[in-house]
Amino acid sequence: MGEGKKQVGVLGLGRMGAALAGALLGAGHDVVVWNRSPLKAGPLVDRGARLAATPAEAASADVVLSCLSTYDIQQPVLEAASPKVLVNLTSGTPAEARSAAAWASSAGIDYVDGVIMAVPQGIGTAQSRILYGGSPTAFSAQREVLSVLGEPVFLGEDAGLAALYDLALLGIMWSTMAGYLQALALVGTEGVAPAAFTPMALSWLSAVGGFLPGIGAQVASGEYATDVSALDINAAGLGLLVETSRAQGIDASVPAAVRELFDRAVASGHGAHAIASVIEEIR
């Protein structure tokens, strides 16, 4: 190995695990991989990775990355592996991450929990970002290795915070995609093609993104006064969207759910307030 290079174990060779191992190989690290099905390791072995026969063999590396499908599947693998330093990149809930961190602490393992904010094809590129929480010492010691995978962002010692951020950010993505698909279905009822509509949608999303800092400031202060667009006007607009969706013969579940939330907030006394006041109903 070259100067600054480490031996890295990778547990799990699904699409994401294989992408992680591939990026580490490309950066010159000594990579040892383990997967329940050894056949998946073939392309990585061809590139210079070593195939471990057991999780424990892979876990003898300087640092181990775990990227399995669920925490339930991962836990017996980790117990069999018993690594010295573990960076857990298996997706799950904050509670699962904290439970894994507690187990690691009891087993004398330096633990960092991470969530990958990228698709497998983006690993190792400037577009990849990975959020981490857990042991600051372990994160600092492994930062060079982790930087190979994408921009590492450390959120603090709470091992569950990365998973919380992950789900919060994905919630924005899923809501946005659902709204976009609703829009495509709606304009599509009049023969408007996605290619014709999407540029306007992108421009609109850019403008909407500019609203977020102001909404966040209102949430932080709890002051929801507005002279721009009151909640009751937006709730009425959602009613028009629901009505038109149904009239055009498409499903209205997405806007109907948001309308129901907005209507509850109006009924709670926030009709004259800004949209930010809806958080009180969510809470």
> What CATH number is associated with residue 176?
1.10.1040.10
pLDDT above 70 for 13: yes
pLDDT at 134: 96
pLDDT at 45: 96
pLDDT above 60 for 171: yes
pLDDT at 159: 97
Q: Report how many domains make up the chain.
A: 2
Of 111, 141, 160, which residue is a domain's last?
Answer: 160
* Per-residue pLDDT band at 184 (split at 50, 70, 90): very high
How many other CB atoms are found less than 10 A from the CB of residue 5? 15
148 plus 239 within the same structural domain: no
Domain ranges, residue 80: 7-160
153 plus 176 within the same structural domain: no
Query: Residue 171 class from Cβ within 10 Å (0-12 exposed, 13-18 middle, 19+ buried)?
Result: exposed
Of 96, 125, 160, which residue is a domain's last?
Answer: 160
50 plus 169 within the same structural domain: no
170 plus 125 within the same structural domain: no
pLDDT above 60 for 90: yes
- Mean of pLDDT values over 190-219: 97
* Per-residue pLDDT band at 279 (split at 50, 70, 90): very high
- Mean of pLDDT values over 70-92: 95
Greatest alpha-carbon span in the chain: 67
Closest CA to 71 of 62, 63, 79: 79
254 plus 173 within the same structural domain: yes
178 plus 59 within the same structural domain: no
How many other CB atoms are found less than 10 A from the CB of residue 104? 23
Going by the DSSP 8-state scheme, the letter that residue 270 receives in this structure is I
Give a yes or no: residue 2 inside a domain: no
Going by the DSSP 8-state scheme, the letter that residue 268 receives in this structure is I
pLDDT at 5: 84
- Mean of pLDDT values over 217-243: 97
Q: Looking at the whole model, is its pTM more than 0.75?
A: yes
Query: Residue 70 class from Cβ within 10 Å (0-12 exposed, 13-18 middle, 19+ buried)?
Result: exposed
Helices 136-149 and 15-26: angle between axes, nearest 10 degrees: 90
Give a yes or no: residue 1 inside a domain: no
- Mean of pLDDT values over 42-51: 96
pLDDT at 226: 96
The 3-state secondary structure of 101-114 reads HHHHHHCCCEEEEE
Residue whose pair of structure tokens reads 């969207």 in the numeric block? 241
Q: HSE of 33 in the Cβ direction (CA atoms, 13 Å)?
A: 33
pLDDT above 90 for 36: yes
CATH number at residue 117: 3.40.50.720
* Per-residue pLDDT band at 3 (split at 50, 70, 90): low
Closest CA to 49 of 33, 28, 65: 33
Give a yes or no: residue 59 inside a domain: yes
pLDDT above 70 for 102: yes
Give a yes or no: residue 152 inside a domain: yes
100 plus 191 within the same structural domain: no
Residue type, 2: G
User: Which tokens belong to 147?
Assistant: 């930087």
pLDDT above 60 for 192: yes
**Considering Cα of 139, then 142, then 146, then 152, what sign does the dihedral take?**
positive
pLDDT at 4: 65
Q: How far is Cα 225 from Cα 274, in angstroms, rounded to an integer? A: 6
155 plus 239 within the same structural domain: no
131 plus 177 within the same structural domain: no
Of 128, 160, 192, which residue is a domain's last?
Answer: 160
pLDDT above 70 for 88: yes
Give a yes or no: residue 155 inside a domain: yes
Give a yes or no: residue 184 inside a domain: yes
Could you tell me what percent of the chain has a pLDDT over 90?
97
Give a yes or no: residue 114 inside a domain: yes
145 plus 101 within the same structural domain: yes
Give 127's contacts (C-beta < 8 A, 6+ positions apart): 118, 150
* N- to C-terminal Cα separation, the chain: 52
Digit-coded pLDDT (tens) for 108-148: 999 999 999 999 999 999 999 999 999 999 999 999 999 99
What pairing do the DSSP bridges indicate for beta strands 129-134 and 110-116?
Answer: antiparallel
